[in-house]
Structure 1
Amino acid sequence: EKNLDDDSSFSLSPEEATEKDKLLAEGFPDWSKKDFKVFCSGLERYGRYNIFNVVKVVVSETGKEEAEIKRYYVAFWLNYRRINDWKKVIDKVEKGEKKILRLRQIRDAIQDLVERHIEEKYGDLYSKEGNSVGENPLPPRNQLLYYCWQTMVFNYGVGQKSRAYSDQEDGFLICMMHRHGYGAAERIRMEIRRAWQFRFNWYFKSRSAQDLQKRCDILVKVVEKENDESRKKEDKEEVKVELDEGKDKALQLSSQQPSEDQPQCMNGLSKSPNTHSDVVEIDSNPVSAGDSSSHPTL
């Protein structure tokens, strides 16, 4: 019988030792539970497809090499079902990806509104020759964001218009979200304090980051609603243009077809069915000598 307390009795054969070394090399024996949590938090923050940022976070938090983290990334998605409570881990990752998708939707909505407003206000000026309007030079196109917020007008819905915030203040918040991103309320607060246009606007300058974030959430809903209305309007105009083009084509085709009322001619001449011949038939029978009716009376 083997002594269980004696480690020498459990010595591995050379083949088993080689297999053990191979399995250890394929695994991750130096990864702790803390490293695993850092990896999962990176997936929640950046999503499963943003490998670059996930690797960057894990490298900064754990100090491991990039090649090892990438290998761990592949092994995780191949064998994640073998982890205890793997459903909870995947649910957290999916929730993080939904947040990322929502942030992208908000960013696209704000960008559509800003670009449409700039095109409406300054598109005609830049399409003309010259770089000035009268004596005032036009600003560079990449700096139009700092000029357009003062002329923004929003279509507020019921209960969305606030007496505390004006159109210019809301426009400034929209442009700053376009610049710094949604959720950067602290940066927006600092931009408000630095803007000379609001140096006497104590109410707007004294708003906290939480107050500004609440107002930004309301403005995002207003922007999305306005973008939806703009898309519906554009779709109706496109349908109307297509219908008009179809009518024009139908009229052109009908004008090119020959009319049924025109007489059909053969060889360029028309003949009437009631045309009579002018030929006079002459009796060819000779008059007999005995016929007295045929001679004049003497």
Structure 2
Amino acid sequence: MTGWTTDRIPDQHGRVAVVTGANSGLGLVTATELARHGAHVVLAVRDTAAGQEAARRIGGDTEVRELDLASLASVRAFAAKLATDHPVIDLLVNNAGVVLLGPRRTSADGFELHLGTNMLGHFALTGLLLGNLAAARGARVVGLSSITHKTARLDFDDLMFTRGYRAASAYGRSKLATTVFGVELDRRLRATGSPVASVLAHPGLTRTNLTPRAWEDRGRLGRVIAWAGLLATQPVEQGAQPQLRAATDPEVRSGQFFGPAGPWETRGRVTEARLSREAADPDAGRRLWAAAEELTGVRYL
């Protein structure tokens, strides 16, 4: 299929969709389109005031719930309440993420903050909600990758990046880990005959608020650099299309990966994207999965 746009999203009435980081950027666009097409959308956000403002802007059938992916206690509390209130969940979009500059920071559980937020928090959340997803017909988990995963490498001897820390490399590693997780989740879902699909997407180079936030502590020069860089990117509405296709296209199959079709997958219409060799490696998938289970205490499949 070529030329996919949000006009192709089928009717979403009767579906429950959970979107993490739904108060801004790619998450806001994703939540808006899902609600516009009739879904009941749960805005899973760290800042509930910002979430309420987003819900007001979105309209439609939405609710706001607090979720801090950098805290496993928050993830467990969120999942427990949501699982009770929504026994059937049709879609989980693991969209939220952080991009940081400066010195190494850690999550509430002592994880390197990129890995803890972008991958481990979503690993735990998905596992805790998998029963609710399996109760739906044609449920999907959509993971948000990045083109930075292609040049990143996982260090299984130092997943928390305690040695030679570099923020940009830590972000890339977290996105590679997210991608490896999504691919391995697909393998395990298919191996057990689960009806749930695991699909990945990346936005190319897209104008969101994450990069400017990352430069905030670098003063005026940092802000100038950040905003100058954003001039070369595509609008957030275009950047959200790969994950929206992954979430809603009836022809999507578990294990597929979507991104922009333009040069180096940076921008343009939605097409199938290419995984890096490590992202597709089953051994990397097994090793990361075992580490994630040990670190989060969440075991599934």
Common topology (TM > 0.5):
no
Category of TM-score, reference length = shorter chain: under 0.3
User: Which of the two has higher C-alpha Rg?
Assistant: 1
Which protein is richer in strand relative to its size?
2
Question: Going by fraction, where is helix more abundant, 1 or 2?
Answer: 1
Q: TM-score normalised to the size of structure 1?
A: 0.21
Question: Structure 2-normalised TM-score?
Answer: 0.21
